[in-house]
Amino acid sequence: MIKLINALGQEKTLPITMHWRRVPLEIEVPSQPLHGRDGEVVTGKPRRRPRAFTLEGSIYHPNKSQIEQNADALLAFLMQMPVKVYRQHYHDRYLLAYPQGAAQDWLDAGAELQLKIPMVALDPYWYGPEVELTLSGTQTITVAGNAPAIPFIRTTGSASSLTVSNQTTGRQVVVSGASGVIGVDNVNHVVTIDGAERLDLVNDEWVLYGFELIPGDNLISTSAQITMTYRPRW
């Protein structure tokens, strides 16, 4: 059975009569034809396209008014978006998706409601349970998944500077001239000092390339004790 969690944190498990058969994965390879040559040449980095899928099936109930109430409750639930969609209620990976409508077909004089709910996950990655680590010095951490994970970094106390390096990838984030608790949001590219944004204190390399964790082992060095929070991705 499909499990949903909306933007308010409310959880709903769809009836067994609702299903999700197709989970697409489309990869776009930018290319350009060349005059006088067969085929095309690659002109950029391949990228995963948003995932479009449909939740569909039926809602049954001996009481016709109860079907209507269930449908109204489901649609109200889906309006609090984005919605975490788990393919089965016992799975721990989800797509973060936006409903795009809900086609309704009433059958058997209203005794059955057939629903089709098209959804789109603009972020094409599956996300796993949140992982939080406390790191100091140099440590090796092992990251699950098969795609890079993007962490949130925060010093555990006040600091005047921070350097965090992933020696496995060669990427690092350097914050200098700080005075307070340093936060580095690698997803949204935001650096804060005691909650105030200070992008001017971070190194240019991080602004251009960011900081990520690759699947498998990552050798992390930090100049101050930090907490690192991330979700593995597939």
Average pLDDT over residues 199-207: 96
- For 12-63, the pLDDT digits (tens) are 999 999 999 899 999 999 999 999 999 999 999 999 999 999 999 998 877 7
- For 151-168, the pLDDT digits (tens) are 999 999 999 999 999 999
Architecture of 3-121 per CATH?
Answer: Beta Barrel (2.40)
Length of the chain as a residue count:
234
Identify the pLDDT of residue 60: 80
Give the residue range(s) of CATH 2.40.30.200 domains in the chain. 3-121
> What is the assigned CATH class of domain 131-230?
mainly beta
Give the residue range(s) of CATH 2.60.120.860 domains in the chain. 131-230
The alpha carbon of residue 202 and the mean position of all alpha carbons in its chain are separated, in whole angstroms, by: 25
- For 101-127, the pLDDT digits (tens) are 999 998 876 678 999 999 999 999 999
Identify the pLDDT of residue 215: 98
- For 171-194, the pLDDT digits (tens) are 999 999 999 999 999 999 999 999
Identify the pLDDT of residue 132: 98
Structure tokens at 199: 């992008």
